[in-house]
Amino acid sequence: MKNNLFSIGGFTIHGYGLMIGIGFLAAYLLSDYRARKKGLDPDHVFGLAVWAIVIGLVSAKLLYYITTIDEIIKNPGLLLDIPNGFVVYGGIIGGIIGGYVYCRKHRLEFLRYVDLILPAVALAQGFGRLGCFLAGCCYGRVTESSFAIVFKDSAYAPNNVPLLPTQLMSSGLNFLHFFLLIWLSRKSLHDGQVGAAYLICYSIGRFVMEFFRGDLIRGSVGSLSTSQFISLFMAAAGLLLMAVSRKAPQEKRGSGPEGEGT
């Protein structure tokens, strides 16, 4: 709705960037807190977060370039527009790869840290979609329903047109996803099952939400959007991880006040 929130001197605070920053900070603080509750080394949370964020951002940007390759061929200057244009799935895939590399490097149990971090990722995504709402990106289809939002001065969404508020819908789903994963993490599950639940639930939710999106510039694969196509593989990966992790031996751990390791 209003991306430029306020200015201090020549420095402008943008709603999108602010929400992304809040999301990253909330995710880090939550992961640090839960690491201590689970008996994991909180010092590794920062290092893992740095690797996941850096590689995730690079991957998110690369996937955006891939989905907009036709426009880039027409205007190569778009490659230099670094601050704008990222694809969430690229960030998720890159972040997981970054986390895996970090865990291998430091001989950490990767699946335990996956279960630790991914609920916080869902939380960060909830704030991130609020940033999308403020900026007007990731907008919904034109609608005649009363359940609509009208942008007046957006650089991304069509202005003065009633649109489905897909950003708020996605934000709400992400916050619900976060609470579901936190609830699951308090159960006696095998390592990797919370992470698997993240992949499955997010993929299903994203696949459905794509039907309501109006920013078709993001590319397509046949009759599916690029994100729907990726969702199929992410959901399959989650189901595979769920099946494999259930067969793995369960390590006995102590329980803290919230049912997590001390």
- Per-residue pLDDT, 261: 41
10-24, 53-67, 108-122, 144-158: least confidently modelled range:
10-24
- Per-residue pLDDT, 259: 43
Alpha carbons 65 and 85: distance in angstroms, whole number? 8
**If you average pLDDT over residues 50-63, what whole number do you get?**
91
Give backbone dihedrals phi and psi of 148, rounded to 5 degrees, phi first. -150, 165
- Assigned token pair, 19: 């929400």
**Can you say whether the dihedral through the CA atoms of 125, 128, 133, 138 is positive or negative?**
negative
Is the model's pLDDT at 26 over the cut of 60? yes
Give backbone dihedrals phi and psi of 9, rounded to 5 degrees, phi first. 65, -125
DSSP class of 222? T
What b/e readout covers 50-78, taking b as 16+ CB neighbours within 10 angstroms?
ebbbebbbebbbebbeebbeeebeeeeee
- Per-residue pLDDT, 3: 62
- Per-residue pLDDT, 250: 60
What does the pLDDT look like over 137-178, one tens digit per residue? 899 999 998 899 999 888 889 999 999 999 999 999 999 999
- Per-residue pLDDT, 4: 62
- Per-residue pLDDT, 117: 94
What's this model's pTM, rounded to 2 decimal places? 0.86
Q: Considering only CA atoms, which of 248, 262, 152, 253 is closest in space to residue 195? A: 248
Is the model's pLDDT at 228 over the cut of 60? yes
First-to-last C-alpha distance (Å) of the chain: 43
- Per-residue pLDDT, 258: 41
**Can you say whether the dihedral through the CA atoms of 157, 159, 163, 168 is positive or negative?**
positive
